[in-house]
Chain A
Amino acid sequence: MISRIYITQKTDDSRKKIYLKSLRDLELKGKVDSVSIIDSYTIDGHFSIEQISNIGKLFTNQVLEEFSINKIHVPKSTNYVIEVGFLPGVTDNVGNTAKETIIDYFSINKNKINIAVYSSRVFLIKGKLKASDIQKISLSLYNPLIERSFVYKGIVVYKNKALPLKLPQVILEKREPVIKIDLNVSDEELVKIGKEGIMDPTGVRRGPLALTLPYMKAIQKYFLNEGRNPTDIEIESLAQTWSEHCKHTIFADSLDEIKDGLYKTYIKGATNYIRKQKGLNDFCVSVFSDNSGAIEFDDEYLITHKVETHNSPSALDPFGGSITGIVGVNRDTIGFGLGAKPIANVYGFCVGDPKDKRTLYRSRDKKQKMLSTKRIINGVIKGINVGGNCSGIPTLSGFIKYEDRYRGKPLLFAGTVGLIPKKINKKPSDEKKAKVGDYVVMVGGRVGADGIHGATFSSVTMDSSSPATAVQIGDPITQKKLSDVIVKEARNMELYNSITDNGAGGLSCSVAEMAKECGGVIVDLNKIPLKYPGLTPWEIWISESQERMTLSVPKRKWEVFKKLFESRGVEVTVIGEFTDSGRCIVHHNQKKIMDISMNFLHDGLPKKELKTKEVVFSYKSPELPSGIQRTREFLDLLSQLNIGSFAFISEQYDHEVQGGSVLKPLSGRGIVNTDSQVFRPLLNSKKCVVLSSSLYPFYGDISTYHMSACAIDTAVRNAICAGGSLEHLAILDNFCWCSSNEETKLWQLKESVKACYDYAIGYGTPFISGKDSMFNDFRGYDQKGNQIKISIPPTLLISAIGVIKDYNKVVSPEFKKAGDIIYLLGETNNELGASEYFRMLSKRNKKEDEIGNNVPKVDWKKNKKIYSALEESIQEEIISSAISIASGGIAIALAKSSIGGMLGFRISLEDIKGEAEDIDSILFSESQGRILTSVPENNTRKFEKILKSYKIAFTKLGMVEKNSNIIILDKMGRKVIDTKVEKLYKTYHNFSNSQK
């Protein structure tokens, strides 16, 4: 029996106004007068009328809402009714909670549950609207990849008092469970299988395997030796394990003269070198080997960090991609060692320009429309919001970068910091090993068709064949339950020997990965709990359904394990056993359907020899403004999206949960975004963690070597400015590249990685974890049906994590008090190439390729001294503020400190050190290694003494002023900038405020 419960708001519903505003922004022909929302629950199960009425009460807050059963009451004046619900099989969190509430209320035996609840939203729309308007409105309310929408005439619904019933049940046709693949075929056919997937008996290819011909040949050879043809699940499994996403082959394979590959030579190479140099002071504990990297926090604890990318799914379903990104990387923390507790989230978005109105399609027939930039931006922001906030993990650090080339494929960075005692019951917590005879246990969510081919999909260019099933929606609460029981209970009870995340590649990767620890595994697919019947074995094996982890549980602990997890509302299932057979074996319906040697599975992929080709770029410089006045340019620069405030994002993320916040994402009287954030993971310790990040994708247009050097320098400098120390600072890399099958792109990559080596070693900051995403290209069609390709600029994100000994010494970036003296540390050179200033001018002049050539170059030897001098000054507690000079140069750093304190200043550029001569370079050059600080007057002697002892270049610029005047004088004493702090405040916050 199917019943519907409709919940209507009795009081003023804030959502109405918000929807109304967003619908009015759609540029419709008619006008929307009002929108209201009715929440609907469709219940499939046997209940009496009275029982349904009781359920209605459970779902209703009597102060705010009222409910009706089966009848929907809409006002007569309603013009249109739009119902939006999920597509069959898409995670419906609200429906799941509703179901759980019903089960609990009626005390239904969990083994006899035969009910389903589907949630949907009904929008009642009033207004004189054209048919095209309604279509636009409907499209803005749902995402066709995961949702469906039905539009009805208001008057019909008013009269019928009902909506048609359309249950989103998953009904899968009966299919051949396992098929054999004939590999005795031509090379062309092998290429086709590798590229487009296995041919189903229905004649449809299953989607990208991302296996190139040499890989297919290796598989062919292996099965020739085995004397049989492979099954589909074997091929699918190999494709997952060997994917670029999982094996990082571009970083692993030999490249030109670098025989050991980029990763081993330069990234791991740098870390090994630094650890040796540091000797007894080495703080690395577990690097590159586990789900996250770990460094020492204090004598008793480790902190872990990992930053992931989740780009491809975020392009298709920004909300789902983003929430899955953050909730997924949380599992890299929970899956570190025996399980670390997530204590901070970080995020980063590289997106198109919101003003960009281009329409793009994935297919030539204009059927698969790409979401608009605005939709993508709003979606990714909301995904981190829901994922982070619901998980009780503070979302502290983050950034957003806007640029046209991220229009086709946005970048979504998500990271998590964890905390774990060094020892658990006197055993090292970072060591784990599945033992022969342990149960293979899957915990958390059930398996559905979501996320099939996620790993292989993200290893190729996005186009019309990109699978819709590659999208998942995270369920942070299922994961929160899972996380709590693991990290806060089961871990310390020693209920398992090993644990890992079920991420890319699903069980096929996590089980096979863990099986390496003991040498083999056998799994029975019939035991795996499914969301709905009808999935074929290969789908179950590689599905990326979320919120699952794989654990190895000793048989004698299984009963206790099961009881504990079930009492916390977490489903657990034994799906197999770890062995030492040297084989990865999978059964289905009592038949062996997969039997591959562990060696071949993990190390059978042929090595490639990659070649690169040098590429040099040269650009003109933009025409500079005339005269000496730069107030207008200064304000224009401050209003650039990549420089202005993004408080509207920071304040919708809970950054204070867990109670440790010391330096928040927003700081000071004028609420500026901070470049680094600090928090206390343990409330009874003075020690704290500092986080920062940096990326300069636009520098890469000139040189990826210097782009990478600058990113490392800025991430390090940001951390130092807050009170961090070079003695205890580590970094992480995230490479997001494009067209990585092109030799010139690989050359740019090589340059970038070389810089990583040089500067990590220079600063003594080891890499502890990293990730790469190599094919961020979009291939599709424009409005006219012309084929286009949009590739991202090569992007390297560097994240830094460090330990500060005493939170009392942490320094924030804003000016604190009038009368404080402003100092500039470091040298300013003519380095405006690809700077925010040049990019602004080139756009203004409508000559967008005139970005100059003088990209900033980093002298780590000089900079290291500057950072040490600042570190000492912070330890002595003699400075008031410190801010890192980065995008926008001295002028923007001054503006941010000034806005933060809502205090003016008067400074002179007379004594600036370095080669910069002209006013544009002095104000806006982005030379690295520079810091702007303010110091109480009575500390200046002490401060200068420290600076001199390190023999660094510095300039006493001027003073923080009580009045709100912002005055900058050039070398001749002329006013080059003359404005008010209130004006700066307004300019800086303008865009962000418009987004609130």
Chain B
Amino acid sequence: MKKIKEKKQPKVLVLSGYGLNCEEETKFAFDSVGGKTDIIHLNDLIAIPKILFDYDILVFPGGFSYGDDIGSGKAYANKFRNHLKKELEEFLQRNTLIIGICNGFQVLTNLGILKGALSYNKKGKYIDRWVDLEINGKSPWLQGIKKISLPIAHGEGKYVISKKEYEKMRRSKEVAFVYKKGEICQFQNLEPNPNGALYDIAGVLGYNGRVLGMMPHPERAIFLHQSPLWQYKKRESKENKTKRKKKKDINGEGLQIIMNGINYFK
């Protein structure tokens, strides 16, 4: 993936520390589509909160902050709010974007930036597999996407929300996407909603779609080889004898979400 050279490179801050662990591949994904990404430890941000003003996109990446002790995302959110409440409010007042992925989504709900909460998977176990999603919400992050297949890996991914709140969110297009049987589920005969999320919700939006929280990992689906379907698609493309390899043949579907984030600032 060539870096897109533009005059202005959107600046991305990916948080790290206390057990977050997807910061490196998340940075790679944003950089690969033209972002300029810094990984910043929560304590370094707390030490100099004003550096947040330099950034266009704030990312709460996946991981296991504080080992999910006292509840997933809770302790990291407590610490963040305790020191950075004002700065976060100011950040949101600007025309910025936020994405929380997996543990990052859990942090965002605990911070109260996004509605609802994430609870234990219905079977009580951590699960790593792929899911199919249908896009319902309206957001810069979701531009031009109707359906998408991405991997999940979590133990507390069951989205919980009251019926009343849900109706409100649905009307205001704040349900980002729902689990829905698609290519992957058909391929491996999987149940569409793996964790028992209410209303099949896999991700939600806030602040006019500028804040996206999602359980699936787009940064783990930026190459086609990461997909369970890769071996078959490889075979198909060989049979179609398209010797010229297009970028499309290498890229994974998740890259579109990342790219949308970057393109918002162009």
Which residues of A come within 8 Å of B, CB atoms? 11, 13-15, 17-18, 58-59, 61, 63-65, 93-94, 96-98, 100-101, 104-105, 385-386, 389-392, 475-477, 480-481, 484, 567-569, 651-659, 661-662, 664, 667-671, 680, 683-684, 807-808, 810-812, 814, 816-817, 877, 880, 996
Contact = CB atoms under 8 A, between A and B. Distances in A.
Nearest to A659: B25
B79 A104 contact: yes
Nearest to A475: B67
B228 A567 contact: no
24 contacts: A14-B119, A14-B121, A59-B74, A61-B109, A94-B69, A98-B70, A100-B66, A101-B70, A386-B67, A390-B68, A480-B19, A480-B64, A568-B41, A651-B127, A654-B128, A656-B217, A656-B226, A657-B220, A659-B226, A662-B225, A669-B187, A808-B225, A812-B231, A816-B235
B231 A667 contact: yes
Interface in B132-186: 151, 153, 155, 158, 160-161
Q: Which secondary structure dominates where chain B touches chain A?
A: mixed
Contacts of A475: 67
B78 A996 contact: no
B63 to A, nearest CB: 6
B82 A104 contact: yes
Contacts of A65: 71
Nearest to B250: A808
Given A14-B158, A385-B126, A477-B19, A816 B231 contact: yes
Contact of A652 (B16, B120, B128, B188): B128
A6 to B, nearest CB: 13
Interface residues on B, range: 35 or more
B128 A655 contact: yes
Contact of A58 (B20, B47, B78, B222): B78
A93 B120 contact: no
B90 interface: no
10 shortest interchain CB distances as A-B pairs: A392-B21, A63-B117, A97-B69, A659-B25, A18-B124, A14-B120, A477-B67, A390-B64, A94-B69, A654-B153
A916 B261 CA distance: 62
Contacts of A64: 71, 117, 119, 160
Nearest to A877: B238
A65 B222 CA distance: 36
A481 B231 contact: no
Interface string B192-233: 000010000000000000000000010110110110100110
B222 A390 contact: no
A93 B82 contact: no
Contacts of B41: 567-568
Contacts of A656: 128, 151, 153, 217, 220, 226
Given A475-B67, A683-B28, A657 B78 contact: no
Contact of A659 (B79, B117, B121, B220): B220
Contacts of B234: 808
Nearest to B26: A659
B237 to A, nearest CB: 11
B96 interface: no
Q: Which of B117, B219, B225 has the most chain A CB within a 10 Å cutoff?
A: B225
B78 A481 contact: no
Interface in B38-76: 41, 43-44, 47, 62-64, 66-71, 74-75
B70 A568 contact: no
A811 B230 CA distance: 11
A507 to B, nearest CB: 25
B148 to A, nearest CB: 16
Nearest to A880: B235
Contact of A98 (B29, B43, B69, B127): B69
A516 to B, nearest CB: 34
A228 to B, nearest CB: 48
B120 A13 contact: yes
A108 to B, nearest CB: 12
Contacts of A655: 128
